[in-house]
Amino acid sequence: MSKRIIKIRCLLCIIFLIIPIALWVFTLNNSEDTFAQEDTFAQYESEYIVHESSHHINRISSISISYDMPIAMDISQMVDAADVVVVGRYISFDSSWNMARNPNNIHLEDNDNFTEGFLFNFLVDEVIVGDIAKGEIIVNHRVSETVKIIESDAQINDVGIIISRATVEEEISFSVNDPHYIEPEFGVSYMLFLRKNEIFGHYYRAIEPFSMVIAPDRTVRLQSNLINNLGNFYKIVSINGDRTIDVTISSGVSIEDNISYNSLDNVIQQVRLHASSMN
């Protein structure tokens, strides 16, 4: 069973009582062979800064994680990314699943990695764009992932060359929430921009943002944690109950919301007009 490929660049220097400070940068590349299709665009670059040592193992005290994913700045880009655009309602939670898949059999989950997805039942009331029938579909939301880190006693010089290979290694893991996830509300009307997972049959976000809430007065509210985003999300995670790691999650770029408070009819007209220009 293969794990995600981790590319690590390390920097160690000595200060005070020979306390090592290390900087690791790795990029995780999700491939279609090992992950559900909706997770293929996710890339992460993380920095690990170590400033303490225990039993010669360099202990990580903080980590910065950034997400590189497609971002739409207007309705036309949202339409371009979507297979279907629909209006409807979330009606119930279906199940959770591991989006990380076995590299030898995508129909099985990967026992070495865990990316949590929530599957919701969504009732399509109106099809704006795409080949899809009215009725129930399943929509997947990427919710979180488990980050695994190997701590060791390896020593690396200031140009990233290993000068002393690891003789002791310890794996730690913790869960990181997807900074783009917004829990859907049941019974509320939405317009969703979706792509279809041809392997599993459900739908997933085509791009970020991909969702608009439809208010009772038939105006829309664009949904995204990137709207007027101020920067980063922060989390402190406990490791084995005896220490913590400061986690900084970069939310990417800031989106200017030029869609909210437009009428639903106006938005539908814009979506259909742009879709027709693509044909």
Q: What is the pLDDT of residues 71-84, one digit of tens each?
A: 999 999 999 999 99
Main-chain phi, psi angles of 266, to 5 degrees:
-65, -40
178, 180, 251, 269 from 225: Cα distances, Å: 10, 6, 8, 26
pLDDT band at 192 (very low <50, low <70, confident <90, very high): very high
* For residue 53, pLDDT beyond 80: no
> Which range is most confident: 31-35, 57-61, 191-195, 249-253?
191-195
| Of 149 and 186, more confident | 186
Longest dimension (CA), the chain: 68
Torsional sign, CA 229, 205, 92, 87: positive
CA distance 205 to 223: 12
| Residues 86 and 127: beta-carbon distance below 8 Å | yes
Listed range (44-53, 77-86, 214-223) with the worst mean pLDDT: 44-53
Residues 260, 265, 271, 276, Cα dihedral to 10°: -160
Digit-coded pLDDT (tens) for 224-260: 999 988 667 788 888 877 888 888 887 768 899 999 9
* For residue 112, pLDDT beyond 60: yes
CA distance 205 to 198: 14
Per-residue pLDDT averaged across 166-190, rounded?
Answer: 91
Res 167: pLDDT: 84
* For residue 67, pLDDT beyond 60: yes
Per-residue pLDDT averaged across 89-106, rounded?
Answer: 96
Res 108: pLDDT: 95
